[in-house]
Structure 1
Amino acid sequence: MIKLVQPNPILLNGNQHGVLLLHSYTSTVRDMKLLAVYLNDHGFTCYTPAYQGHGLKVQDFIKYGPKDWWNDVIQGYQILRDSGCKQISVIGISLGAVMSLKMAEEFDIHRCITMSAPQGREKKDIFKRLVNYADYMNKLENHTNNDFENNITKLESAADQQISDFHLFIQHTLSKIDTITCPIALFYGKKDEPLYKTSAEYIYMHVRSKNKLLKEYTNSGHLMTLSPDQQELHQDILNFLLSNT
């Protein structure tokens, strides 16, 4: 049996432009590791927080929720400040994209970059993501499929608070995007669900940023940082972070 351990955050020291890289729901820092290394190779100080509960067995994972993960993000921002960063940009994917938008709403952010940002996501869709996570973790722990099937109804009940809180967190954050004025880039994958294209277009139309970019990636699904478009995506992110407009 594999022993599940909470992943460690990633801190890569560089110059005074810090980048906060935020991973997706039910995933880990692996979403952002290659991008963090790429940006650090180009001089940026990078920090990727490991959200509480992520990477652990599902019964431990559901003990946490958006408030806990948001605190992890705020701590990451402070770590970059304490590292001497004068400018801080934020990059997020899926849940991390929502967190990135919230950072742009509430903090002094130099650049905001979102990938696969959800808007109008239903609770049943969030639960499906959790079921996939539970299935994966059960296989890691060598549980049988019958074990998983017997626990699926219990999981739905036990996870209701987390899923409800997550759903409200998305709604609340998206309701305030008209307060965002910092430069923002909105990326989505053509192979992802159509909802994410609609979401990116909605955010693009409602932020008040004068400098804003909307782009589709032909070969990308939901986890864009791990897609065949990775090289193009990395270059686009670097260019946006370095832009002077």
Structure 2
Amino acid sequence: MSADRSFMLKAGNRAVLLLHGFAGTTEDVKSLGEYLAGNGYTVYAPNFRGHGDEPALFLRTTPEMWYADAVSGYEFLEKEGYHEIAIIGVAMGGVFALKMAESFSPKAIVPLCANVNRKMRYIPVEKYLLKQLSKEGFKAEVSEAMLKSYEPEIKKMTDARSAFYKFVADNIEKIHVPTMIGQGCQDEEIDADNANYIFKNIHTTEKQLCFYQGSGHDIVNDCERDILEEDLLDFLDDLNWLEEKVV
């Protein structure tokens, strides 16, 4: 098991839980976290179990475990004395942000390129595993053979992930907190109609929908990252924070 990649950047009384996506790690959101911290927001980003680990370890984890890691991150910030917490999540992290808003009362949520509509198009498990095996130096033919041996575990994870996302989609009307929805129009993984689905079905009057014409799935690191960061900061700054003192 690799070392924990979670990070915390203390910067102020306002807190943000920052959630990475499937097939990634906290390194993918580190730049955004640093930007937010540079503008006065304390940021905590948990790394989901199995992500960044070798395939055999990764395939022992489940969406429920990853979501539990997100919830633990929220509870960690509360224990640190932060009681108003906004949640920003990328892709699967955005799905987790939506589910947490269905179950908890975060200050606000920001799902970015989150996949929740009924088409259920998302990064296949196989793509993630091939990426990891390539990092470990395995040749293509060896990687393909290893994937073959992992077929039962891959199917189990794929089915569990689909069921998890559909459950979130079915309960999305429970969301009543301020929400900013971001979507890259060049997203090669997620149909942009997911953003419309979220906007239409959440039950809050404080919502905004932002499309980024040149951005793909890795929206926080793509060509319009500066624009996205400014939009995020404007959204967070406009929230009615109590400015309570952190213990």
TM-score by length of 2: 0.91
The answer on 1:174 being equivalent to 2:165 is no
In structure 2, what is the equivalent of residue 133 of structure 1?
Answer: 128
**Whole-Å separation in 2 of the counterparts to 1:106 and 1:169:** 14
Which one of 222, 227, 235 corresponds to residue 232 of structure 1?
227
**Whole-Å separation in 1 of the counterparts to 2:177 and 2:143:** 45
Aligned Cα RMSD in Å?
1.6
**2:124 aligns to what SS in structure 1?**
helix
| Residues 1-245 of structure 1: pairs in structure 2 closer than 5 A | 5-119=2-116, 120-122=118-120, 126=122, 129-193=124-188, 195-244=190-239
| Contact 2:112/2:219 (8 A) holds in 1 | yes
**Whole-Å separation in 2 of the counterparts to 1:172 and 1:194:** 20
- Percent of pairs identical after alignment? 27
* Structure 2 unaligned blocks of 5 or more: 241-247
In structure 1, what is the equivalent of residue 245 of structure 2?
Answer: none
**2:150 aligns to what SS in structure 1?**
helix
Displacement over 6 Å in runs of 4+: none
Rate the CA distance shift 1:50–1:121 in 2: closer, same or farther, 3 A: farther
Displacement of 1:162 in angstroms is 1.6
| Contact 2:182/2:209 (8 A) holds in 1 | yes
Displacement of 1:195 in angstroms is 4.8
The letter of the residue matching 1:73 is A
* Structure 1 unaligned blocks of 5 or more: none
| Contact 2:5/2:25 (8 A) holds in 1 | no
Q: Deviations over 1:118-172 (max 9, x none)?
A: 12354xx55x532222222222221111101222322232222222111111000
**1:196 aligns to what SS in structure 2?**
coil
TM-score by length of 1: 0.92
Shifted more, 20-29 versus 193-202: the winner is 193-202
**Whole-Å separation in 2 of the counterparts to 1:175 and 1:87:** 26
Shifted more, 12-21 versus 154-163: the winner is 154-163
**2:205 aligns to what SS in structure 1?**
coil
In structure 1, what is the equivalent of residue 244 of structure 2?
Answer: none
| Contact 1:26/1:129 (8 A) holds in 2 | no
| Contact 1:7/1:55 (8 A) holds in 2 | no
